[in-house]
Amino acid sequence: MALAHNLGFPHIGGDRELRARHWQVQKDAGVELLPVGDFAQHDYALSTDDQPFVLNWEPLFEEVEQAKALGHPVKPVVVGPLTYLWQGQARNVDFDKLELLDRLLPLYDQVLNRLAALGVEWVQIDEPILAQALPQDWKNAYERVYNILQRAPLKKLIATYSGGLDGNLGLAANLPVDGLHIDLVQAPEQYQAILDRLPAYKVLSLGLVDGRDAAPCDLGSTINLLHDAHERLGERLWLAPACSLAQCTVEVAVQKCREVATLAASLEQYRVAA
């Protein structure tokens, strides 16, 4: 059976009781690995030589501890370091943001190691810019970054969405991590190419449920693809919405979680029938 997980859920800030209810409704909907700390970092500015990089990760650690205390299987979510830099607003338009990378990476290494110390098995690292055309120096940075971050003793799932990987497909498939999530709603054509390039040890998470459209997904249209993926990947197959559900209403987000769980259950029914 494929593992049903979620990339992100509508966030409610510091309300611990409401946060706990949101985790429970995802679990009740059939999500087996819950996103934790899935709040976006945005609208941040990048300076130049004096960039401090004092990122506030404490809410993430607090949520991990709370969710684990409630008995939930958790998957913390962090913005990937290259996406963080790419999306940051540089005050000097001529500044090369990659120059800040060596100052940022030690913080990520510390975060991943602390999550591992909290008993986290998987972390989701969002790198949506892999679905964009990137300059060659940014592509080169990816392999270096993840060769460094792989040292932290927990498994890493790179999440890509908002389109296909196109010219970054080989790069994303071969990063030294344990899994890759792809968007098959906006870019269904990348499925076969990814399967052909993915190393045999990696998890592949298929984003088959449209998180941007409140209308129910046509689950029947995916069943042949699911059977093919399961035959080729076995236990390395995960299922999820194509993107985070953070911008949905809670009601729509729960519906999308149920759709993912229904897809996973259909595979189990097919296996038993066979």
- Identity at 152, one-letter amino acid code: A
pTM of the model as a whole: 0.93
Mean of the pLDDT values across residues 218-242?
91
Q: What does the pLDDT look like over 111-162, one tens digit per residue?
A: 999 999 999 999 999 999 999 999 999 999 999 999 999 999 999 999 999 9
| Banded model confidence at residue 43, pLDDT cuts 50, 70, 90 | very low
Apex CA 21: angle with CA 20 and CA 24, to 5°? 90
The more confident residue out of 14 and 152 is 152
| Banded model confidence at residue 95, pLDDT cuts 50, 70, 90 | confident
Region of poorest pLDDT, from 12-16, 75-79, 154-158:
12-16
Strand-pair category, 89-90 with 45-46: parallel
Structure confidence at residue 271 (pLDDT): 56
- Dig out the tokens for 214 from the structure: 């409140």
The more confident residue out of 274 and 2 is 2
Structure confidence at residue 14 (pLDDT): 76
For residues 184 and 209, the answer to whether their CB atoms sit within 8 Å is no
Structure confidence at residue 38 (pLDDT): 73
In the chain, which ranges are continuous DSSP H helix? 16-29, 58-69, 81-87, 101-117, 136-149, 169-173, 191-197, 223-233, 250-273
Structure confidence at residue 104 (pLDDT): 92
Closest CA relative to residue 257, chosen from 15, 34, 16, 13:
34
Tell me the percentage of the chain whose pLDDT exceeds 70: 91
What is the residue extent of each domain of the chain? 3-273
In this predicted structure, the answer to whether residue 233 has a pLDDT above a threshold of 50 is yes
Tell me the percentage of the chain whose pLDDT exceeds 90: 77
Rounded CA separation 111/91 (Å)? 26
Does domain 3-273 correspond to CATH entry 3.40.50.300? Answer: no
In this predicted structure, the answer to whether residue 47 has a pLDDT above a threshold of 80 is no
